[in-house]
Amino acid sequence: MATVVITGDAKIFIDPSAALAPVRYGLPPHQVELEALDRSVSRIVSELADSDVVVVTHYHYDHHDPGFKIPVEHYSSKLVLVKDPVKNINVSQRIRASKFLRKLREVGAEVRVVDGQVVTYGNTKVTFSNPVPHGNSTKLGYVLMLRIEDGGDSISYSSDVEGPLTEYAVEFMCGTRVAIVDGPPTYLVGSAYRQEEVEKARDNLVALSRCVEVLVVDHHLVRDINYVSLFRDVARASGKTPITAAEFSGSSPNLLEARRRELYELSEGE
């Protein structure tokens, strides 16, 4: 979900981080995944270097890096717009936020809490949502969604709403030209997610598809190798097919985590 938005006034980097699931299908990350992660981190570092504004929607490690692979010095002298580190937050993220924001201030970043606020940067308008649950439970804390508007163009970003599951999320993103949504974690159905919630997310994606020009769905959904079946359902109902972040940026999806078991089987067969 690491996303760069360039307007007439600023280069804005949303959630500049990348991470791998420590365990999937009972397996650790494959070497192919580790190499892909290193390439992603290198690109993030490069893009971060000349970014003016950084947004951190919440404090999970795939959305913020406290210095594991991305040195905090890259935030020096930047404006960093963050989810409130004290209110509407679970214990683990509160601890992570405290450590991370202290490091940012030590390197000279300007840190600003932006829950439910509007921030302008020249003619660029960035509107932040109220805190919303990380998916179907508040156990994983809360996240911020945002809209960026510059003249007649606009983009919205859901962060980790795992769906969306609420009308509020749809209404917040509706009307932007591009909406980037993390999608439902269909791979968790039967454990941490219910089939009824997949259906609710599908219905909300249909509604969102009807009120934006381009619907990008990625992140949680594409951890399922069969993500395209949900795309087809949305397309049948709305007349518009969602696309992945890879397709939006002009490349083909490469679902390494979803294929982790296959990657290990291929390695064993060599």
Mean pLDDT of 165-193: 97
Please return the burial class of 200, using the count of CB atoms within 10 Å of its CB with bins 0-12, 13-18 and 19+. Answer: middle
pLDDT digits (tens, 9 = 90+) for 110-164: 999 999 999 999 999 999 999 999 999 999 999 999 999 999 999 999 999 999 9
**What is the spatial distance between Cα 129 and Cα 143, in angstroms, rounded to a whole number?**
9
Q: 225 with 259: CB under 8 angstroms?
A: yes
pLDDT bin (cut points 50, 70, 90) of residue 80 is very high
52 pLDDT more than 90: yes
pLDDT band of 267, cuts 50, 70, 90: confident
| CA distances for 164 relative to 186, 206, 217, 221, angstroms | 13, 10, 10, 11
User: What mean pLDDT is predicted for residues 9-35?
Assistant: 97
Question: Using 50, 70 and 90 to split pLDDT, how confident is the model at 268?
Answer: confident
245, 155 contact by CB (below 8 A) = no
The pLDDT of residue 70 is above 80? yes
Question: Distance between CA 210 and CA 38 in Å, rounded?
Answer: 37
The pLDDT of residue 47 is 97
Structural domain spans, the chain: 3-269
Q: Say if residue 164 is preceded by a cis peptide, omega within 30 of 0.
A: yes
Q: Give the mean model confidence (pLDDT) for residues 22-33.
A: 96
For the whole model, what pTM was predicted? 0.96
Q: What is the pLDDT of residues 198-249, one digit of tens each?
A: 999 999 999 999 999 999 999 999 999 999 999 999 999 999 999 999 999 9
Mean pLDDT of 49-76: 97
- Name the CATH superfamily housing domain 3-269: Ribonuclease Z/Hydroxyacylglutathione hydrolase-like (3.60.15.10)
CA–centroid distance for 188 within its chain: 18
Share of the chain above pLDDT 70, in %: 100
- For residue 219, the model assigns a pLDDT of 97
Question: Mean pLDDT over all residues of the chain?
Answer: 97
For residue 58, the SS3 value is coil
Count Cα atoms within 13 angstroms, Cβ side, for 110. Answer: 6
